[in-house]
Amino acid sequence: MTRELERARFDDTVLAELRGDLLRFASLQLRDDHLAEDVVQEAMAAALAGQQDFAGKSSVKTWVFAILRNKIIDVIRQRGRTINVTALSPEERSMDQGFEALFKANQHWKPDHRPSDWGDPEQALRDSQFMVVLEACLSHLPANTARVFMMREFLALDTAEVCAELAISTSNCHVILHRARNGLRECLEKNWFAAGEHP
């Protein structure tokens, strides 16, 4: 491939087209529009500046996303203690009430709310509609719940690290992660499984 073709893959239009995807990803992880904008700008600038390092081994999109991921990771780590995740928002309170409502007085599943059989997990993972609904469900998690969940599942910090970064107790950490998973599960059950978007 000639120099000119390589350079063309990196021009402003290529990055401009990626910008929407980059912003969506950053917003999902950070739950802060200003921060997301900043981090995407930095990633795009870094990508343009570092063109020489792009050896063409992967797609431009993969490469720029890798730059973005690292910047997001830095922000999440830096931000750690500046966000207070302990105060319950109305949405979080509502999620907890919603979860309680799935159980009978004896704390077993109500028949109507017993989890469904989602079928073959490998099929679901290959189902692009499943991923679309998952992303929507993630974006609907309350901000603080999402942030803790992202530190655990995106940053892949172990629970002790998450608690330390956020200065919360281990038990509180578990409560928030449980809340996140319940929220995602119910959202998926309602919007993907029940909606018939599966084989």
Instruction: Kindly list the residues in this chain that would bind other proteins in the complex (CB under 8 A).
Output: 29, 65-66, 69, 103, 106-109, 114-118, 121, 124-125, 130-131, 134-135, 138, 152-154, 156, 158-159, 173-174, 177-178, 181-182, 184-185, 188-189
Q: How many CA atoms lie within 13 A of 199 on its CB side?
A: 10
Q: In whole angstroms, how close is the CB of 178 to other proteins at the nearest point?
A: 4
Q: In whole angstroms, how close is the CB of 149 to other proteins at the nearest point?
A: 8
Query: Cα–Cα distance between 62 and 59 in angstroms, integer?
Result: 5
Q: In whole angstroms, how close is the CB of 23 to other proteins at the nearest point?
A: 16
- 11 or 109, CB closer to other proteins? 109
CB 150 within 8 A of CB 75: no
Cα 191 off chain centre by = 18
Q: In whole angstroms, how close is the CB of 38 to other proteins at the nearest point?
A: 20
Burial class (CB in 10 A: 0-12, 13-18, 19+), 186: middle
How many CB atoms neighbour CB 101 within 10 A? 9
Q: Which amino acid is at 181?
A: R
- 16 or 131, CB closer to other proteins? 131
- 44 or 180, CB closer to other proteins? 180
Q: In whole angstroms, how close is the CB of 170 to other proteins at the nearest point?
A: 8
Residue 111 φ/ψ, nearest 5 degrees: -50, -40
- 7 or 123, CB closer to other proteins? 123
